[in-house]
Structure 1
Amino acid sequence: MSSYPVYRVENAMTMQDPDMPSPRYHNTIFIETWEDGYKSGRTCHVIGDLVTGMSYDTRIDQDPELDKAFVAKHFLGTINVSDYPDRLNEILRELPGPGKQKSFNPKTMRTEQHKSPGVFYEPGETRPAMVKCTEWTVNQAIPALFEAGVLHKSDEP
């Protein structure tokens, strides 16, 4: 095999963020390598939350369709065996993970979106959209892999 199929996978979240449109899914990149059994591979994603910030994480994983939280798998293209896993991880580790975007506001006694820690938005003030795993995966990680020439468009495997 000279290349591996690459997918964007959506999994249901155990708890939705009340400040973000629902439903939302945890989005990951899955490279199907069969290195740990039938349809297994590597999951690449960001972990964390909007209060502490998020960071890149990768692990060898089972077929995503076996996960109880599985919702959908979207074929993206292929990655050459020579780019896996070193070049793949090099590119994804360079991308900044979504930072801290919420903190506890003692005035309202709620965890709220902030401009910077300790500086909260006033009622009615326009707030930018928050960035989580979906935005990191779809808007940063996948385009970076295509731009670097690591992810290649191809027909379904």
Structure 2
Amino acid sequence: MSFNVYLVESLGAPRNHRAIFVETEECGTGSGYLYQVSGNIQNGMIHAHKQTKQPETSPTFTGVKELIGTVTSSNYAHIRSVVDGIPAPKKQFDGPKKIFPNEPLRRCHEWTDEAIQALRDRGILQRPGSPSTSC
């Protein structure tokens, strides 16, 4: 058995928020688990993973739910440790002053891209074929 894994987007400012959604209850509620960081670059961000309903039910859902792959049920348990190994974006500004002027800004988009790549590199996230259905 495998679970579909999606890149999802919700409203945010100055850019929309991105996260990784694993659909663990495909045949019933479409609910699953969201892997993400929250916060901002003025204060720093933290890992903020949570169990959730399908992203489409959120009032801030933008319509972006892109299938990025699948994860087997045996590999699902490894996702958390891999994404927690990707540091959340740190505090990058002190008021209007950039603290690390030689480093590019790093927000949820960059963290999500790094987490997806780490999951692929470790063979946990398999490239998408057709969406998995086992109902």
* TM superposition score category, shorter chain reference: 0.7 to 0.9
Q: Which has the higher contact order (CA 8 A, sep 6+)?
A: 2
Letter in 2 for 1:10: E
Larger Rg: 1
Deviation track 1:47-89 (CA, whole Å, cap 9, x = no partner) reads 11112211222111001011111111110010010122x3100
Change (3 A) 1:113 1:146: farther
Letter in 1 for 2:99: K
TM-score (norm 2): 0.88
Letter in 2 for 1:115: I
Runs of 5+ unmatched residues, structure 1: 18-23, 104-110, 122-126
Runs of 4+ in 1 over 2 A off after TM superposition: none
The aligned counterpart of 2:108 is 133
TM-score (norm 1): 0.76
Count of aligned pairs between the two proteins: 129
RMSD: 1.7
Residue 120 (structure 2) pairs with residue 146 (structure 1): yes
1:154 offset after TM fit, Å? 2.5
SS at match of 1:152: coil
* Alignment check: 8 A CA contact 1:32 1:39 kept: yes
* Alignment check: 8 A CA contact 1:75 1:156 kept: no
* Alignment check: 8 A CA contact 2:5 2:22 kept: yes
1:128 offset after TM fit, Å? 4.7
Q: Distance in 1 between matches of 2:46 and 2:124?
A: 21
Deviation track 1:97-127 (CA, whole Å, cap 9, x = no partner) reads 1111011xxxxxxx214235xxxx6xxxxx6
Change (3 A) 1:145 1:113: farther
